């Protein structure tokens, strides 16, 4: 658990550098709130207090990572109650919850505070120009790349974020508006690869998610969706963060390798479907939540065959 926390620290540091100290405040409030709600929930339910295991800290960091950096600090406090008390302890308990707690907290905030969750974007401190007017449209409420693309089209997107190698580089390093954790794709990728290298997780889920997003974005995106650019589709939004740190949640993902591939393909397909046809510009949050309850189903489908010697000895 603490290794995962350590892997999330570098993206947080770069987020503070990109968006300012506000991101550190939101993250600190989220982590403290999740740890406090964890302890209170376990006391209330008569269970052993296990806040030292790091799981509540991970939930707090991931919850902050999927929140816009300009929101009120009150929001992560409310989300912590939904994520930890409801999503983790009421819906199953530690080790048995069937929804990712951090994403459940984000879904709660998006449903109850939709204006704050879709308008509290901050410009990268090194490039405030992208928050200016895009073709006469105030981009403050549609500042993320996916939102600009979905609501204003490719022309507005190109005008706001440019095109070519520089754009890919900025997206990969993190100089673009987004949630706190939607910053450096490079650092998220390195953290995820380190967890795979250490054997704490496997490659099956992130590779199947990102591969499906890239393939379906190229096949069905067309001129209305990043002109079918698979790399841009992967680098935009929370695809990398979701693939390496959300969908791989030890409790809510399948355990069988083949199950994990099917699970990842389902998340990737739902993400692209929501991006293309849904009301929200980003879909990976709801894609993971929709696939979470199917994890035991997939494990049941691909249950390994167990061979036992015949009873009574061989004949």
How many Å apart are CA 76 and CA 63, to the nearest integer?
7
What gap in Å lies between CA 206 and CA 271, rounded to an integer?
Answer: 13
pTM value?
0.85
pLDDT, one tens digit per residue, over 245-302 is 999 888 888 888 899 999 999 999 999 999 888 878 788 999 999 999 998 888 888 8
114-143 tens-digit pLDDT: 988 888 888 776 544 443 433 433 443 345
Domain boundaries, the chain: 2-118, 201-301
**Would you state the pLDDT for residue 138?**
42
Round to whole Å and give the CA distance between 68 and 120: 6
Cβ atoms of residues 80 and 58 within 8 Å: no
């Amino acid at each position: 658990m603490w290794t995962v926390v350590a892997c999330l620290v570098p993206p947080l540091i770069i987020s503070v550098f990109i968006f300012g100290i506000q991101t550190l405040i939101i993250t600190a409030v989220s982590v403290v709130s999740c740890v406090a709600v964890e302890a209170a929930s376990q006391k209330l339910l008569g269970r052993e207090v296990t806040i030292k295991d790091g799981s509540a800290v991970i939930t707090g960091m991931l919850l902050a990572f999927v929140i816009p950096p300009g929101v009120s600090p009150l929001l992560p406090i409310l989300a912590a109650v939904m994520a930890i008390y409801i999503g983790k302890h009421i819906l199953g308990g530690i080790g048995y919850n069937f929804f990712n707690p951090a994403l459940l907290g984000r879904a709660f905030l998006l449903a109850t505070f939709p204006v704050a969750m879709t308008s509290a974007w901050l410009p990268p401190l090194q490039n405030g120009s992208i928050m200016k007017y895009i073709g006469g449209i105030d981009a403050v409420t549609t500042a993320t790349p996916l939102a600009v693309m979905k609501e204003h089209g490719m022309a507005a997107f190109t005008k706001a974020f440019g095109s070519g190698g520089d754009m890919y580089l900025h997206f990969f390093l993190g100089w673009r508006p987004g949630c706190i954790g939607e910053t450096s794709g490079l650092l998220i990728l390195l953290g995820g690869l380190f967890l795979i290298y250490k054997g704490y997780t496997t490659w099956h889920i992130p590779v199947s998610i990102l591969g499906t997003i890239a393939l379906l974005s190229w096949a069905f995106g067309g001129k209305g969706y990043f002109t079918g650019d698979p790399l841009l589709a992967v680098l935009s939004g929370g695809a990398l963060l979701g693939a390496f740190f959300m969908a791989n949640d030890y409790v809510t993902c399948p355990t069988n390798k083949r199950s994990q591939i099917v699970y990842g393909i389902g998340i990737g397909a739902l993400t692209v479907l929501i991006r293309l046809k849904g009301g929200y510009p980003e879909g990976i949050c709801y894609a993971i939540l929709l696939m979470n309850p199917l994890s035991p189903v997939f494990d049941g489908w691909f249950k390994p065959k167990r061979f036992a010697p015949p009873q009574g000895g061989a004949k």
